[in-house]
Amino acid sequence: MIRDVSKLKTGPFDVVIIGGGIYGSWMALYSALSGLKVALVEKSDWGSATSSSSSKLLHGGLRYLERYEFGLVRKSLQERKELNRLLPHQVRPLRFLLPVYRDSRVGKLQLKAGLWLYDLLAGRNQPVGRRQSFSAAQLVQQEPALSSDNLVAGFSYGDCGTDDFRMVLEVVDTAMQNGVTACHYMTATELLKAAGRATGVRLNDRLTGETFDVHASIVINAAGPWVFQQFGLGEEPQNACRVRLTKGVHLVMPPLSSNNAVLLTAKSDGRVFFLIPWYGRTLLGTTDTDYSGNPADVRVESQDINYLLDAANGYLKTRWSRTEVHGAYVGLRTLQNEADQSASGVSREWSFEETIPGLMTSLGGKYTSARIDATSAVNHILTKLNRRTRRTWSELKMAWSPNEKFATWMQNVCRKAVAQGMDEHSAETCARRHGANTEHLLQLVAIRPELAERIVPDLPFCKAELVYAAASENAVSLVDILRRRVPLMLLTQLNVQLLQKIGELVSPEFGWDDPECSHQVNQALARSARWKIWPIATNPD
């Protein structure tokens, strides 16, 4: 992946897309597959806002059935299957447990009917199994960490997990390989207009300070939480109240007893929350509260942590304390405003509309359904440009997808990685995170066997991933690597000694001298501690 700013100056383009999250990336890819000349720009790192701060799920949204959003659930469940076909290495089948307690907000019969409908809407050939029923004793056997007090029965159902950032990165890489000019750390500072119509954007390169104009027939604004803050659009009366931002916080906690996920409802307010296994930790989340400040200033607050720990501890045999929090992160959902709904009740439906002539705005949506929504957006753009697609989208081959049957490939590549010194868990994790690019990492290990070692003992990432991220995955800083590409920043509490070792490992790939390496280490240390807004060791439960 090469950041080639010179290509941005070869316009005009058919389409310029602002925002390198999951929606903007899929739109760029499908626009290019349709024969359009496409530029994709992102003001920070790829997927660095909401698209790397999700619940790491590819799911239909079981809770949306309560609001009768059957179309949204069906669309998402069909996308779960399609994403598994396109990106089998990125899609991780999960089994969700759904316990029923005497005081549960939703009773056993209602849950049974909901899970039946969930399976019905999913249809056949899904990557996960259908629902199952359990007695109270059987459910606790499935997850011994759950309290059996007042437990009546339980269910399980299938959904899928992923590494949200790595999927974004693969979509961007695939888009580049299909002709998209994609540059991150590139801010769109001004909307260019002629005769009342958008004709392009003025860009500022954050790495060099250079400013230049890029012209296009269509500008797509997929900037997520900043969507109507771009170009002063939010000052227009018709746009001022269009967006509702809601804040989602996750805590990174120790592993449960099993590798199952759990869906629960908070006893304080009845909201759904999850316990999700992720890289040997448990993601506890999420909150859903309104947010009205600058998206860049959103933070994990003390009350968010209190809420999530209290919610989880209402169901666990052994209570979690603040000292067990490995990390935390927050993202903003960008939703269509429904003033009469609570934050968690606002629809996750997506819209795509012309804000002014030549400027299309993407608003709302779900991570799982971003791909299919992007195809709808591209069809709309093709109609506006009076163009027809040159290729069928069914020809799409993702950049990291293995060329052989996934199960066979997975077995072979893991065997090879173990033979070269990786432990089995790290080998499987590496293969799922990198897909066919795992071969490139194994080439690094063949030259430098020490790169097969884990970075930290209790997380399944090898040192070769750090070197590969610096050399080949479009990272420009240590924060880029450790927050997103190899997410140690989320999963463990980093210290200066570890960061210095990592800095020394990746510095040759970046060409950093000692002062720059020290600067990068200090930045990463400060960023890794940013969520710690309360004194962990002294603040009581």
Q: Where are the domains of the chain?
A: 5-51+165-241+348-395, 93-161+243-336, 406-528
Instruction: Enter the CATH code of domain 406-528.
Output: 1.10.8.870
At 534 the pLDDT is 42
At 524 the pLDDT is 95
Residue ranges with strand state E in 222-322:
243-253, 261-265, 272-278, 281-285, 289-291
32-47: burial string, b at 16+ Cβ within 10 Å, e else: bbbebbbbbbbbebbb
At 250 the pLDDT is 97
Q: CB of 282 within 8 A of CB of 276?
A: yes
Query: What is the crossing angle of helices 438-447 and 424-434, to 10°?
Result: 130
CA 467, CA 507: separation in Å to the nearest integer? 9
Q: CB of 161 within 8 A of CB of 96?
A: no
* Architecture, CATH, for domain 5-51+165-241+348-395: 3-Layer(bba) Sandwich (3.50)
Stretches where the chain sits below pLDDT 70 are 233-241, 338-340, 342-346, 390-391, 533-541
Cα 505 to chain centroid, rounded: 27
Tell me if 5-51+165-241+348-395 shares its fold with 406-528.
Answer: no
Residue 293 to residues 19, 190, 195, 244, 267: CA-CA distances in angstroms?
20, 22, 33, 11, 28
The DSSP secondary-structure symbol of 283 reads: E
399-428: burial string, b at 16+ Cβ within 10 Å, e else: bbbbeeebeebbeebbebbeebbbeeebbb
Residue 305 to residues 51, 264, 386, 487: CA-CA distances in angstroms?
21, 17, 51, 20
At 238 the pLDDT is 56
At 536 the pLDDT is 35
At 337 the pLDDT is 77
At 390 the pLDDT is 63
At 335 the pLDDT is 87
At 244 the pLDDT is 87
Fold of 93-161+243-336: D-Amino Acid Oxidase; Chain A, domain 2 (3.30.9)
Residue 215 in tokens: 């012209």
At 533 the pLDDT is 54
CA 162, CA 51: separation in Å to the nearest integer? 12
Nearest to 88 by CA among 485, 413, 438, 401: 401
Residue 400 to residues 89, 171, 173, 431, 530: CA-CA distances in angstroms?
8, 9, 9, 10, 33
- Rounded to 5°, angle at Cα 76 from 70 and 82: 140
At 236 the pLDDT is 60
At 278 the pLDDT is 98
State the amino acid at position 255 in one-letter form: P
- Rounded to 5°, angle at Cα 8 from 478 and 21: 50
At 538 the pLDDT is 32
Q: CB of 426 within 8 A of CB of 461?
A: yes
